[in-house]
Structure 1
Amino acid sequence: MLEALGLDSALESVYRGLLQYPDAGVDDLCALLGIGEAEVRSSLDRLVDMDLLQSSRECPGMLRAVSPAVGLELILRRQEADLLRRQEELARSKEAVARAVAEFAELRPNTDVDGAERLVGMDAIQSRLEQLARDLDHDCLAIMPGGAQSQASLDASRPLDKEALHRGVQLLTVYQDSARNDPSTLAYARWMSELGGQVRTSPVVPPRMLIFDRTTAVVPINPANTRLGALCTSAPGIVASLVALFEQTWETAVPLGAERRNDSREDTDGLTATERQLLKLLASGMTDEAAGKRLGVSLRTVRRLMAALMERLDATSRFEAGLKAAQKGWL
């Protein structure tokens, strides 16, 4: 009953016993309460420390139980004073943290006068993303190329996405169609959808980008070499262009829960969306490897798809396949 005041069951039993039997000794309390001598003596010491037991003026060397009206009120006052002290310490800590954050912000390297910040290394990128995610108010727009996402990337994103969704932030994400073939990425996308996020896929997507509240964007410095780091910018012109690119991609993408009409099933020309995009990429002069990166599929998958297309076109070379594809209007 009195646990909120710091009195556990044994302590409360000894206190009640002394209130009811003021002259009871240690042996008497053991017999009355059915607890051991060590526990009784320990409880008596703690009651003295809490000022619920005081020395008797009538019987020197004996202890008397202080009335609950006085003793428990004293405990409450102590708790209130302790709470006030901790609140004051918390307020001082918050002030110290605010000052430290301001000081550390001034120390952040590679920030230029145009508001663009170069982030080098995964730790620097993750730290900046954590800060941006924490400050989100409305939405986060994301394009995730490459099909399958690394487990490390998914693990790092999960707590940020979960916290943002719980705050009512709208998350819109576009993956490549090939992400549907990766169990881990697909499971993550479905998890986001269940929490209220919106996920779509497209055969070909622009380079990776994250746009926070349509005011700040994080993009790779060089999509072909992610080791060079990322660029975080709030330049209105750049961010507006990236938002427009995202919206165009979003409009042509297909919701995760829907079946892509031109991907898993053939269109009227007998092509899937991935096959059509592959033909266009190869016809533009891309190598198999480069086309695979754009589609988010492996080199082996590109060659398998191309071999199947050549067989359907009854072509003995890729050049002949290109001619026949153009004649059929596939390009």
Structure 2
Amino acid sequence: MFSTLGISTTAEAVYMTMLRQSTWGIAEIAESLEIDTQQVHDALDELIELALVSESPVSPGSLRPTSPKVGLAALLARAKAEIAQQQYEIEATQAAIHALSEAHQADHQDQLIQIVQLESVRQRLQQLARLTQKECLSFNPGGAHRPDAMAASKPVNQEALERGVTIKSIYQESFRNDPGTLAYARWFNGLGGETRCLPVVLFQMVIVDRRIALLPVDPNDARKGAIEIHNEGITAALSALFDHAWSTATPFGAAATVDENGLEPTERQLLQLLGDGNTDEVTARKLGLSVRTVQRMMSDLTARLGAESRFQAGANAVRQRWL
């Protein structure tokens, strides 16, 4: 019945029996289901990992089933979220296939333009800002932004907003640590711009009216220039990527959303990055934080997970469904 929630047949039978006969022990459950006690033990381990069984607060050492309204509802919500993510990935893949097909059939010289110098990129961004009719979307990676870049963008952004252009910007969460960038974001929002934050923004991007996009030639070095894209399929796929990121990002000025485990988005991303084998230095760079801040956050998470080492913290995070 509940296999779609990741529960095995034996574990489901043990759980249902415990709901009906809350006083039964392992031997009685095994006899009732006509299985051996080891199978019951294995099923209980599975149920504990799924948070469907926990230690009784009134009888230490004994186990009791979690209310279906709580335990099964949580598993159902997780399953729905996984299905929604899979659906998004399918749609994104379809958009990417469409974009590649369009790009393959098109004349690339007409639709892809390389801008080789950083100053030329800034000049082109200013031109596009003045040509924008309805909407400008952007990804802004890293923490602190260069003062000269912010100064150059101020007048063109102000002029566009005064013309009624919608400007949406996604910043990396760590930009709040830089007073200059934070002040710029406040100024921008005060004029009617819209800003949201994500723990990690992997690359810079600007989309104008969902028909022209600018991407860096090298995401790790903006000085190498940019690619200006006029291909309809590619800009549609990039716009869909931005829309999804926008829907999951935290609005500027709002407190970061805390999940059911008390994790903020940056903390969850930190666990994921370290779990993937990234060093403190690489993790700090991707999050736009200092190495010392990453180490302090990890120390706090290790304590909250009841672990004595990072390896144990990673194992506990998986076991406790933090990841």
* TM-score, scaled relative to structure 2: 0.63
**Distance of 1:270 and 1:132 partners within structure 2:** 42
Query: Superposition pairs for residues 304-319 of structure 1, below 5 Å?
Result: 304-319=296-311
Aligned residues, how many?
217
The answer on whether the counterparts of 1:233 and 1:239 sit within 8 Å (CA) in structure 2 is yes
Stretch deviating more after TM superposition (290-299 or 148-157): 290-299
Aligned to 1:255: 251
Aligned to 1:279: 271
Match among 321, 325, 328 for residue 320 of structure 2 = 328
Matched residue of 1:297: which SS?
coil
Q: Which amino acid aligns with 2:165?
A: V
Query: Superposition pairs for residues 1-331 of structure 1, below 5 Å?
Result: 113-262=109-258, 267-331=259-323
| Deviations, residues 102-122 of structure 1 (Å, cap 9, x unaligned) | xxxxxxxxx961421111222
Taking only aligned residues, the RMSD between alpha carbons, in angstroms, comes to 1.8
Structure number with greater Rg is 1
**Distance of 2:223 and 2:144 partners within structure 1:** 19
**Distance of 1:216 and 1:151 partners within structure 2:** 26
Stretch deviating more after TM superposition (288-297 or 212-221): 288-297
Q: Which amino acid aligns with 2:141?
A: P
Question: How many angstroms does 1:330 deviate by?
Answer: 1.1
Matched residue of 1:113: which SS?
helix
**Distance of 2:113 and 2:159 partners within structure 1:** 25
Q: Which amino acid aligns with 1:294?
A: K
Question: How many angstroms does 1:272 deviate by?
Answer: 2.1
**Distance of 2:245 and 2:320 partners within structure 1:** 27
* TM-score, scaled relative to structure 1: 0.62
Identify the structure with bigger relative contact order (alpha carbons < 8 Å, sequence gap 6+).
2
Show structure 1 runs of 5+ residues with no match: 1-110
Show structure 2 runs of 5+ residues with no match: 1-106
**Distance of 1:119 and 1:301 partners within structure 2:** 36
Stretch deviating more after TM superposition (303-312 or 120-129): 303-312
Report sequence identity in percent.
Answer: 47
Question: How many angstroms does 1:203 deviate by?
Answer: 1.6
